[in-house]
Amino acid sequence: MALTTLKEMAGTRRAKFGTLVIELASPGIGYILKAAGTQFVFLDMEHSGFGFDTVKQVLRYMEAADLPTVVRPPSRHYHHIARALDMGAEGILLPMVSSGEEAARIVAHAKYPPHGHRGVALGVAHDRYAPGAPVTKLRAANRRVAVFLIVETRQGVENVEAIAATEGVDGIWIGHSDLSTSLGVPGQLDHPDVIAAEERVARACTKNKKSFGCLVMDVESGIAAYHKGYDMICYSGDVWLMRETLRHGIDDLKVALAGRRKG
């Protein structure tokens, strides 16, 4: 059975494959990614420079292509979380989460009463501008919205059991670059301290039946990640895929045509 929502994806350990959108906000981006076999999209605001107007547009492009999209807001603040959800994000992915208390606060920001304190605005982007009974809509939104948290600091790893046990959290991702930097070994993803931290997070996810996700930059890393227990695998991103495909193609052309200049 096809997994059609982020909640459904988080509820199974089967591998799900997505990609990161950090640069290309073209109207066709959703259909392009769908045609490539993408199952979900990670839309980044933390490092992209995208504002909420752009995010709102890109979410419509993804909806048109029927692609579930998780948005990483620029911070863990309420106004960033609630606005991303009001724009129509099906899920949120919050950076630098370091404690169970932070995790619980994020869930409360994302959920309507009685499960949280998200402010109510209905008949807007998140409910596709449709009319309906408020009680029904609030319950549906609380069931639909998926909450993912990124553990990417030493403190986050030390508190990952409490983070993973937080009610309302659907999954945990590891941010390998920030985590390795926090552990004092920037970019050394095979360092024993990074591997130990990764294994601790994986155990916490398994124990609490949470989805486990990460970003990988190549196929070999994606395969290795799956064997480590990751089930949401975000394969590279728009800018790197375009750059590397173009670079390899041009390099191959240069080699193939070397010495064959037309006279």
Q: Which residues are catalytic?
A: 47
Q: Are 199 and 238 in contact (CB under 8 A)?
A: no
In whole angstroms, give the CA distance from residue 173 to residue 175. Answer: 7
DSSP state of 119: P
* Spacing of C-alpha 16 from chain mean position: 12
User: Closest Cα partner for 52 from 25, 18, 29, 13?
Assistant: 25
Residue listed under structure tokens 């983070």: 163
Report residue 227 as tokens.
């064997």
Residue 133: Cβ within 10 Å count:
9
User: Closest Cα partner for 117 from 128, 104, 126, 127?
Assistant: 104
| H or E element that contains 149 | strand 146-151
In whole angstroms, give the CA distance from residue 239 to residue 235. Answer: 12
* Spacing of C-alpha 137 from chain mean position: 24
Residue 54: Cβ within 10 Å count:
15
